[in-house]
Amino acid sequence: MSVLLLKEHPARRKDILFYWLVLVLLSFYGNGKELDFFLLDQTRTRNGHEFYYEFSRLLMAEGLLKDETVLIREFPHPVWGNKLIVFLNDIPVYQTTVYRRGNTVSTMAVRGVEATKKILIMKALNKELNEIGVKG
């Protein structure tokens, strides 16, 4: 399984897009391997990074991703905590708020993986139903 994990820094988005394009071209024209999915990290704080690492570890263990793009974006707020949103192909599938103290990031990552897994299973079921001619 070929996976591309990108740590994206907001000031270097052009560089990240350039490297992404180079990697995609290399995957198609280089050694014949294709990338299975993209997992992008746009977190800014320690809690956000911990969520990303735990979420990516759990999601890759599931093995459900194929031709998908997963983006984890963080919006920090000094008073209310940090909002973390998980996007699957530019569609938000999970959202949570991480506070400065008291939250376990691993529990939130497990919930995020469960929500993403449900969406992926529904997507696969709809695809199979459409192939046999049933609309759902």
Q: In what order do the strands lie in the sheet with 82-88?
A: 3-7, 37-42, 68-75, 82-88, 91-98
pTM of the model: 0.73
CA distance 46 to 71: 17
- At 34-81, the pLDDT tens digits run 556 778 888 888 888 889 999 989 988 887 777 788 889 999 888 878
Position 32 confidence tier, pLDDT thresholds 50, 70, 90:
low
Looking at residue 113, its pLDDT comes to: 92
CA distance 81 to 100: 6
Averaged pLDDT, 95-104: 77
User: Is the pLDDT confidence value at 83 over 80?
Assistant: yes
Q: Which residue has the higher pLDDT, 21 or 105?
A: 105
Between the CA of residue 68 and those of 22, 32, 45, 56, 117, what are the distances in Å?
18, 19, 25, 13, 12
Q: How far apart are the first and last CA of the chain?
A: 31
Looking at residue 1, its pLDDT comes to: 47
Tokens of 13: 């988005």
Identity of residue 71 = L
